Amino acid sequence: MAPAPAAPRPSPLAAYLVAATLALAGLAFHLSPWGKDASLRLLDAGFGTLRALSPKQAPDDILVVGLDDGGAVAPEVDPAGPVLRKLPEVLARVARGRPRAIVLDTPLPRASLDGEVPGFDDALATALSVAQAAAPLAIGIRVDARREVIPIHDPLLRGIDTRALAFTLLPRDEDGVVRRTVPGLPTQQGSWPTIAGWVCEVLDGRCEPGLVDYALGPAYRYVPARRLLDIRDDEALARLFKGRVVFVASVAGPGDRVPQPVSLSGWEPPGAEPAAVLAHAQAVRTLLHGAPVRETPLPAMLLAIAATALVALVAAPVAPAVAVLVAGGTVAGALLALRLGWFVPLAAPLATLLAAFVASLVLGRRPASPPNPVREPGS
């Protein structure tokens, strides 16, 4: 009985067409919102992996002074509140420590509080002037829901250079996570600096927009205001603050938290929404001690996607091993690139690789069998 004929195998041309189709589909996915969102989540995982394996070195020269107070009450009960009441003395103590720069990232009153706290306006205005005399001082300005600047009570800023004002806005991606830094924001008066841009310009950093390097440097230390107010010795204050960029901010309120790729808090367990001041601090660290992470150009990404699509041409028996090797090499290469300051969006190459692996199995490509010898008559 004659053997059944073997099932026809796809031609090499068909396999190449499949690989080309997968490459084009991978490119479309890379450019789509879904691909970008998936790549950003993989970027977050990459930062976490680098921090776990080998964090990039940077000086521990940024410190957070927290203004939070468990005894705070509603503004209608106490318009000043314990945070503002202690602010003048906190600023005075920080200034005595001879910091490199001071960043005040807490809302200042829109109107006088002398009615609730006699002499408060003069005390805070004096403390701000003392702080600016001791070191470059940035005062955060906020915007409301209509994107209008929330004013600060003018007498508080007497003697303060208006160039000390800087936006506290943090740029967020579509998923709400803060991954980027911008030196300034457009206004009717031209570009106005953000906190990171202001510190970078004053301290001569690399003031470029880009991705914040969340793999850079150690976790941040935190000094509660109540502990700071117990320190009266100038030498002890200098040990804390001398030569450092000091952020004076609230960290515990619901409005003081933003999603970030990783938590760099050195005073609390990791969470999905660390203190917003950490995003400012890490942007400053990136601009002063590193450089913003750059995204891989589109032509390079097209090559990477096309390379993973070629797995569709691999013979089916070895396709699993080849796919694992390519996947491991792709992830390892992306981590190395991230450590060197380049963001390689991984979602499209990995998705294309998976599709190419499945296509290889479906195509069933195997090495061609040698032809059967022709039998001579009578042999």
Q: What stretch of H or E contains 22?
A: helix 12-31
- pLDDT category of residue 71 using cuts at 50, 70 and 90: very low
The predicted model gives 177-200 an average pLDDT of 90
pLDDT at 47: 96
Q: Per residue in 15-32, is it b (16+ CB within 10 Å) or e — as a string? A: beebbeebbebbbebbee
Could you tell me which residues come within 8 angstroms of residue 296 by beta carbon, excluding any fewer than 6 positions away?
304, 337, 342, 343, 344, 345
Length of the chain: 379
Share of the chain above pLDDT 70, in %: 89
Q: Label residue 116 by pLDDT band (50, 70, 90).
A: confident
Comparison of pLDDT for 253 and 311, the residue scoring more: 311
Task: Give the pLDDT confidence score for residue 316 in this predicted structure.
Answer: 73
Question: Six-digit token pair at 234?
Answer: 């100038």
Residues 209, 252, 257: CA angle, nearest 5 degrees = 35
Given this model, what pLDDT does residue 270 score? 85
When pLDDT is averaged across residues 273-279 and rounded to a whole number, the result is 93
pLDDT the model gives residue 374? 55
Reduced to 3 states (helix: H, G, I; strand: E, B; else coil), residue 363 is: helix
| Helix (H) or strand (E) run with residue 337 in it | helix 319-339
Q: Is the pLDDT confidence value at 1 over 70?
A: no
The whole-number pLDDT of residue 14 equals 79
- Given this model, what pLDDT does residue 220 score? 95
Mean of the pLDDT values across residues 126-146?
Answer: 92
**Mean pLDDT for the stretch of residues 256-272:** 90
Strand partners, 293: 211
Q: What is the DSSP letter of 68?
A: -
Is pLDDT above 50 for 104?
Answer: yes
Residue 346 pLDDT:
96
Model confidence at 31, in pLDDT bands (50, 70, 90)?
A: very high
pLDDT confidence of residue 3? 57
Residue 100: band (very low, low, confident or very high) from pLDDT cuts 50, 70, 90: very high
Q: How many CA atoms lie within 13 A of 46 on its CB side?
A: 28
In single-letter form, the type of residue at position 268 comes to E
Helix, strand, coil content of the chain in percent (nearest 5): 45, 15, 40
Exposure string of 186-219, with b = 16+ CB inside 10 Å and e = fewer, is: eeeeeebbbbbbbbbbbeebebeebbbbbbbbeb
Between 316 and 18, residue with greater pLDDT: 18
Instruction: Inform me whether the pLDDT recorded for 320 exceeds 90.
Output: no
- Residue 187, pLDDT above cutoff 90: no
